[in-house]
Amino acid sequence: MTLVASQAGQGRACSTMGWEQRGNNSYYYKKERVGSKVKSVYVGRGDVAQMSSQIQANSPLLERLARTIKSPETIKHEKAEASLEQVTDLVQLLTQATLVAAGFHTHHGQWRRRRHVDSD
């Protein structure tokens, strides 16, 4: 979805998709906004692309659903990321425990060795 400025400070959403002619062939591309840039995503050509273009033109709901469905690769990546976060948290906790046991403390986010002040 891209934003089209209708008046200053206001915008309306629109989906931009279309056929592009390259040589003697027509290719179907979907335009997506990534940050401030618009990216063309190749969908296909021929009968499959024709059906895809008709489905997307006739059903914005299907397009929204397609964006929300996660691929198996995305699910696998998210599980791996969650495991990595847990390992990172455990390593940080172990490091902190080791430094505290060795007589260190944090001062403004920096680890420092405790001074032993002799009280006479």
**Separation between Cα atoms, residue 113 and residue 102, nearest integer Å:** 8
- Give the mean model confidence (pLDDT) for residues 13-40: 78
Three-class secondary structure of residue 28 per DSSP: strand
Q: Give the CATH architecture of domain 2-68.
A: 2-Layer Sandwich (3.30)
**Whole-model pTM over 0.75:** no
Q: What is the pLDDT of residue 14?
A: 45
With 80 as the cut, is the pLDDT of residue 6 above it? no
Evaluate whether 43 touches 16 at the Cβ level (below 8 Å).
Answer: no
pLDDT digits (tens, 9 = 90+) for 92-116: 999 999 999 999 999 998 999 988 7
CA distances from 61 to 14, 55, 108 (A): 13, 10, 51
Higher pLDDT, 91 or 65: 91
CATH 3.30.160 occupies which residues in the chain? Answer: 2-68
- Give the mean model confidence (pLDDT) for residues 25-43: 85
- Please spell the DSSP secondary structure of 20-39, one letter per residue: EEETTEEEEEEEEEETTEEE
Quote the mean pLDDT of the chain: 79
Q: Greatest CA separation found in the chain?
A: 94
Three-class secondary structure of residue 71 per DSSP: coil
Q: How many residues does the chain have?
A: 120
Q: What is the pLDDT of residue 21?
A: 81
pLDDT digits (tens, 9 = 90+) for 76-90: 999 999 999 999 999
